[in-house]
Amino acid sequence: MKEAITRIFQASIEAKSDFLRTQSSELIAATDTVIRTLRTGGKILLFGNGGSAADAQHLAAEFVNRYLIDRPPLPAIALTTDSSALTSIANDYGPADIFAKQIQALGKDKDVAIALSTSGNSANVLRGLECCRTIGMPTIGLTGGSGGAMAALVDHCLCVSATTVTPRIQETHLLIGHVICEMVDRSLYGTGRPEGEA
């Protein structure tokens, strides 16, 4: 069992290290887009399915409440949390429209969308991104493997390309989200470092 656990940890570390080595410039550009959006009065819309839905909600909470420092709440909405909207859209139009309809209702061109799909091929995430493109909203995609169809639909593709294993991709996505949160805190409020960190 110890060997199996060690292999899981090593695979997670390798996925993160590879992402940092190959995608750091794209992460900086995506983070700059989020910072610019918040500075100009826009909001963040986050969406995904399953574990990615949980990550969208987690990150939205970090912005709305706090990440590491006490600072004003920041506008972020996870499009995965309104069960009445989700079920009515799925019932009346189909599951592929659950994010697109909400983006049409809530999204503006001054906002930014953060879409999460470990395969990059989730139909409802792709349709949501197509809706963002129609509105003129900047988009950031968190995906894995080859990037799937998402790679061609987003302005910034943050792809965990070292693996196609969903848990390893999601672990890296959460780290990416936390990095964005911390850089937002540092840029907008001048801090965000944990105690003892340079």
Q: Could you tell me if 141 and 157 are in contact, meaning their C-beta atoms sit under 8 angstroms apart? A: yes
Please report, to the nearest 10 degrees, the dihedral formed by the alpha carbons of residues 119, 123, 128, 131 taken in order: 120
**Per residue in 59-83, pLDDT tens?**
999 999 999 999 999 999 999 999 9
Number of other residues whose CB lies within 10 A of the CB of residue 194: 8
**Residues 104-113 pLDDT 10s:** 999 999 999 9
DSSP 155: S
**What residues does 44 pair with on adjacent strands?**
76, 112
- pTM to 2 decimal places: 0.94
Q: Residue 192 in contact with residue 182, Cβ under 8 Å?
A: yes
Q: Using CA atoms, how far apart are residues 139 and 71, in angstroms rounded to an integer?
A: 25
Give dist(CA 24, CA 188) in Å, integer. Answer: 20
- Domains along the chain with CATH numbers: 2-189 (3.40.50.10490)
Q: How confident is the model at residue 192 (pLDDT cuts 50, 70, 90)?
A: low
Write the pLDDT tens digit of every residue in 121-157: 999 999 999 999 999 999 999 999 999 999 999 999 9
Cross-strand bridge partners of residue 141? 115, 157
CA angle 49, 23, 13 (to 5 degrees): 75
